[in-house]
Amino acid sequence: MSAAETRQKLIETGAYLFHRQGYNNTGLSQILTESRIPKGSFYFHFANKKQFALATIDYFNQQFSQLVNETLNNKELTPQLRFTHFHQAVLLQYKKMNYQAGCPIGNLTQEMASLDPAFQDKVSSSFGKIEEHFADLIADIEQTHQLNHSTNNLQLAQFIVNSWEGAVLRMKAEQNSYPLQNWYQHIYNLLF
């Protein structure tokens, strides 16, 4: 395995475990055992567990960008379909995890944002990126009809992203898709 492959294997294993168990619940030893990578290789790539976790946030963002590019940003579709495909793609991901795993960025926010500024910066900028994609969608919708909101597009986009995070959180409490379906219905009504 090349150094790059080793790093990637560590990141994927860590992302999987942090997502399902949380940051504090996941020890470095479990990451090493499940990835079958020796401790020395870990420390060749990462100074410590925290630096490693920050790198998994980049990985989560990258994975999510791919989903967003195929759905929300797919300008070959109508805005309605871009929004609907985004919702359906997300739902499918969560279904695969029995609606138990939540949003990895949201999880890390709850667990770490107030305890460590490096996490806070990183999750804040992750949210900002998702917001821009929704602001783009809103701008495209407004080419055809006026939306009923008293704020600017970025503020509405933030409301949509935050309410989505809340729906994903509630999904974890209920362990079913209803909160996300309910979010979709209300936001669809607001946008179209």
Residues contributing to the site for its own copies (CB under 8 A):
20-22, 24-25, 100-102, 106-107, 109-111, 113-115, 120, 123-124, 127, 148-151, 155-156, 158-159, 161-170, 172-175, 179, 182-183, 185-186, 189-190
- What's at 42, amino acid-wise? F
> Residue 132: phi, psi to the nearest 5?
-60, -35
Would you mind telling me the total number of residues written for the chain in this entry?
A: 192
* In the complex, least distance from residue 8 CB atom to its own copies, rounded to whole angstroms: 26
| Minimal distance, residue 112 CB to its own copies, in Å | 9
Roughly how many angstroms between the first and final C-alpha of the chain, as a whole number? 50
Between 6 and 176, CB nearer to its own copies: 176
Nearer to its own copies, 3 or 95 (CB): 95
Q: Judged by CB, which is closer to its own copies: 21, or 73?
A: 21
Q: In this complex, which beta carbon is closest to its own copies, that of residue 15 or of residue 101?
A: 101
Phi-psi region of 117 (alpha: psi -120 to 50; beta: other; left: phi over 0): alpha
C-alpha triplet 65, 25, 114: angle, nearest 5°: 65
Name residue, tokens 């060749």.
44
We find the least distance from the C-beta atom of residue 142 to its own copies, in angstroms, to be 16
